[in-house]
């Protein structure tokens, strides 16, 4: 069985109490069969990274952590920014270039490239989101997520074969190791994507907010 990467992006959701309940439910994955080829990464809000890290370690849940963003600036007088050194205390991955950051916060290709570089400089693994095969993929990126804009938060996912075709183009042109699919992933459609030869997993948004649905996604991969 090929290795599968399953990433949950919780976005700007969950208080600490809500997060604790979510993690309590997620602890059930310890008893799931066939986890040997599946790596699970959860990206909570910055405010919960420390809590998630402690809970996962204390309860021995097979989950790794990622951040939803990273500052393109180092440590210093940059009010409101979260730098790579701060993230690295708790997480191993960073989501970079998500379509919501590009459209809502004006992050262009140059900013995305700076954030990729900053991730790598701090020994974090960037999970780079692109909207199509024409987006720039900076050097050092090994994980790319194809997330078509029309599928983000709409409930309308892309056709698995189209996603497969784009993943193949990205792998061929950029020489990346893994291409994931992101955009309205559910427990009902996930297998259609992960069964494709060039898709190595999924980035899950809204469906990851309910722990039981996210567990079903993990099971159905």
Calpha distance 96→85 (Å, rounded): 16
**Alpha helices (runs of H) in the chain, residue ranges in sequence order:** 16-26, 49-59, 84-88, 99-104, 109-121, 160-174, 190-194, 211-220
Active site residue 98: yes
Calpha distance 219→34 (Å, rounded): 8
Catalytic residue among 100, 107, 133, 147: 147
Active site residue 59: no
Residue 164 near residue 88 (C-beta atoms within 8 A): no
The residue among 52, 65, 70 whose CA lies nearest residue 122 is 70
Q: Residues with catalytic annotation? A: 98, 147
């Amino acid at each position: 069985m090929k290795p599968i990467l399953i990433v949950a992006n919780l976005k700007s959701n969950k208080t600490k109490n809500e997060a604790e309940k979510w993690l309590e439910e997620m602890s059930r994955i310890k008893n799931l069969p066939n986890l040997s080829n599946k790596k699970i990464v959860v990206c909570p809000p910055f405010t919960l990274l420390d809590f998630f890290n402690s809970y996962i370690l204390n309860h021995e849940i097979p989950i790794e952590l990622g951040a939803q963003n990273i500052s393109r600036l180092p440590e210093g007088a940059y009010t409101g920014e979260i730098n790579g050194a701060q993230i690295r205390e708790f997480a191993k991955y960073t989501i970079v270039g998500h379509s919501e950051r590009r459209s809502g916060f004006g992050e262009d290709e140059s900013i995305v490239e700076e954030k990729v570089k900053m991730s790598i400089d701090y020994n974090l693994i960037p999970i780079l989101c692109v909207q199509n095969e024409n987006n720039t993929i900076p050097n050092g990126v090994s994980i790319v997520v194809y997330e078509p804009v029309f599928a983000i938060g709409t409930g309308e996912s892309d056709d698995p074969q189209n996603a497969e075709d784009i993943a193949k183009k990205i792998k061929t042109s950029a020489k990346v190791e893994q291409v994931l699919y992101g955009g309205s992933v559910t427990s009902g459609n996930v297998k259609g994507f992960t069964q494709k030869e060039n898709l190595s997993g999924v980035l899950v948004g809204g469906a990851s907010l309910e722990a039981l649905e996210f567990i079903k996604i993990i099971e159905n991969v």
